Amino acid sequence: MLSVSRNTACPCGSGKKFKQCCGALSVQAAPSAPAYPGWDAFAADVRSRLWQLMEAALQEQRTRNLERARELYGEVLVHAPETYDALHMLGVIEMELGDYARAEELIQASIGLMPTPEARINLSIVRQRRRSREGMYAVRSIQMVDAIGVFAARLPRSTEVDGVADARGAFFGNEGILHFVVPGDVFNAASNRLGVKLFQEHTTKGRSVKLWRTSVDPALPALAAPAATIDPSAGVFPDEGCVVIAGPNPAMLEWLPANADRLDVIGLLLDVREPQPLCTLLGQMPRTALAKLRFAARSQEVLSDLGLAGIADPDLLTEPRPGKHARRFSAKPRIGVFLMPLGGRNDLPRWDLLAWLRTQNVFIRLLYPRPLPSPHLANEDEHLVSLVTDWQDNWCTDLDALVYWGAEQRAHQFDTLLVEARAQGLPIVTDFGAETAGLGEDEEIFFSPQEAKACLTRLLEKLRG
């Protein structure tokens, strides 16, 4: 770590002195060949140059010359992209300059190298600021479109089936061809499944239906039903009747503003984290088409960020399954466990937690994104199922709870595990700490293996109680 003015306030914004904060994270070394993590492979003259750049960047940051500090940190990262300090401090600078998306990316990368409390705190701050600014932008955008029409029913999970049926009719319209549009890529698996499921349900109702996809991703297994591919340049897209779009983002909706007047109802199943692009697109919709919009989202938070009312649980649009919302727990609870692999010794706490859980008289379905490593699992553990070989639509329908560990290093496609578990009403124990604002009443957060065991103990008592 750097040695410049160690008694001054740390630039990361923690409020501590530099020597008690980021300055305490590594050992002082001679400028000629500093012993900085990740620099061992460089020649001494290169290490010395990088060290000088880091010291200069910190000085510029302390004097609030943020643009120059950004350039210097960026130059370090060109040559040494896995330099924790450069990533973290550059993220702090981007946050102060207002580029929250870039700030989040950089600080997240620094946490991947060194998960310090200071970096985690700054990650929470930048996400809070980002949500606040985007929410303000969203409200202003919606207010500008004063004729917008929304489906204002907020239906709780306990709503009677008759009321839900009314909601379905209002959402899908009552006549004309019914189009369902899904993303068609591997990063939106939950939206793909929901859209295909709704399509399949309506094929048996005597109404003309058609399934569309906006992209063809070779990494995604074939959809459960044949789908046409939207191609706006060739004029191939839904142009009559009602359309329901699962997981809309601007790339999926480029064809919509110019053709919305041809449609009777436009249903948007929202799965968005950044409302600004969607608000911009809504602002381009013809006023005559705005009253045709209907909204459903995975949480009320998404709707609130957009300044909209709507259905806060898209599963209410699907046909009810017996007992879905009245789960009965057995004496031997069925637990889904997702462990994002980190590699090497970093995985040991995860395997220790799994070994402990196996002593608690529970059925475990292990959701693991690559072949199971022996000797951690014995051959007789037939109830442990790999996510690679058992990634089915019904992976969680027979489970009582989900344990999700490894959020900071996760691959984005595995976010759908949380989405689908929440849609099923499963209790969740997770280290997904950055998203605590979206927690449900049956979710708990842990930050250490000890806290994980405590959370799981409470969960098992609840399931058996």
Distance CA(391)–CA(301), nearest Å, equals 28
Residues 168, 117, single domain; the answer is no
Q: Is residue 27 part of a domain?
A: yes
Residues 306, 388, single domain; the answer is no
Q: What are the residues facing 366 on neighbouring strands?
A: 337
Structural domain that includes position 121: 18-135
Distance CA(342)–CA(430), nearest Å, equals 16
* DSSP element (H, E) containing 103: helix 100-113
Which residue from 436, 391, 437 is spatially nearest to 411, judged by alpha carbons? 391
Q: Of the residues 72, 107, 135, which one is the last residue of a structural domain?
A: 135
CB 74, CB 48: distance < 8 Å: no
Distance CA(445)–CA(454), nearest Å, equals 11
Residues 122, 182, single domain; the answer is no
Q: Is residue 10 part of a domain?
A: no
Residues 173, 126, single domain; the answer is no
pLDDT computed for residue 371 by the predictor: 53
User: What's the pTM?
Assistant: 0.46
Residues 126, 150, single domain; the answer is no
Residues 173, 276, single domain; the answer is yes
* DSSP element (H, E) containing 101: helix 100-113
Contacts of 4 (CB under 8 A, 6+ apart): 18, 55, 58, 59, 62
Q: Is residue 163 part of a domain?
A: yes
Parallel/antiparallel/unpaired status of strands 209-213 and 228-229:
parallel
CB 414, CB 314: distance < 8 Å: no
Query: Within 13 A of 377's CA, how many CA atoms are on the CB side?
Result: 18
Residues 406, 448, single domain; the answer is yes
- 423-450 per-residue burial string, b: 16 or more CB within 10 A, e: under 16: bbebbbbbbbebbeeebeeebbbbeebe
Q: Is residue 313 part of a domain?
A: yes
Residues 413, 447, single domain; the answer is yes
Q: Of the residues 102, 135, 168, which one is the last residue of a structural domain?
A: 135
Q: Is residue 152 part of a domain?
A: yes
Q: Is residue 108 part of a domain?
A: yes
Which residue from 322, 308, 316, 334 is spatially nearest to 159, judged by alpha carbons? 316
What are the angstrom distances between the C-alpha of 209 and each of 158, 176, 294, 339? 29, 9, 18, 39
Structure tokens at 136: 């303000």
Q: What are the residues facing 179 on neighbouring strands?
A: 210, 243
- Residue 198 three-state SS: helix
CB 377, CB 397: distance < 8 Å: no
Q: Is residue 113 part of a domain?
A: yes
Q: What are the residues facing 338 on neighbouring strands?
A: 367, 404
Helices (H), 409-448: 415-423
- Residue 239 three-state SS: coil
Residues 299, 204, single domain; the answer is yes
Q: Is residue 326 part of a domain?
A: no
The total domain count for the chain is 3
End-to-end CA distance of the chain: 51
Residues 301, 417, single domain; the answer is no
CB 399, CB 335: distance < 8 Å: yes
- What CATH number is given to the structural domain containing 368? 3.40.50.880
- What CATH number is given to the structural domain containing 189? 3.40.50
Q: Of the residues 262, 288, 317, which one is the last residue of a structural domain?
A: 317
CB 365, CB 196: distance < 8 Å: no
CB 172, CB 178: distance < 8 Å: yes
Residues 52, 149, single domain; the answer is no
pLDDT computed for residue 72 by the predictor: 93
- What CATH number is given to the structural domain containing 71? 1.25.40.10
Scanning the structure block, which residue is given the tokens 């997240």? 108
> pLDDT tens track of the chain, all 465 residues?
444 455 677 766 666 666 666 655 433 333 344 556 778 788 888 888 888 899 999 888 888 788 889 899 999 998 888 888 899 999 999 888 878 888 989 999 999 888 888 888 888 888 877 766 655 544 444 443 444 445 544 444 444 444 555 666 777 877 789 999 988 876 676 677 778 888 888 887 778 999 998 887 666 666 767 888 888 888 899 989 999 998 777 778 888 888 888 998 888 887 665 666 777 777 777 777 877 888 887 666 667 666 666 776 666 677 655 444 344 445 678 888 877 666 666 667 777 888 888 888 888 877 765 555 544 554 344 444 444 344 455 567 678 888 887 654 444 445 566 666 766 678 888 876 544 434 556 677 776 777 888 888 888 888 876
Contacts of 424 (CB under 8 A, 6+ apart): 324, 396, 397, 399
Structure tokens at 17: 């002195």
Residues 154, 104, single domain; the answer is no
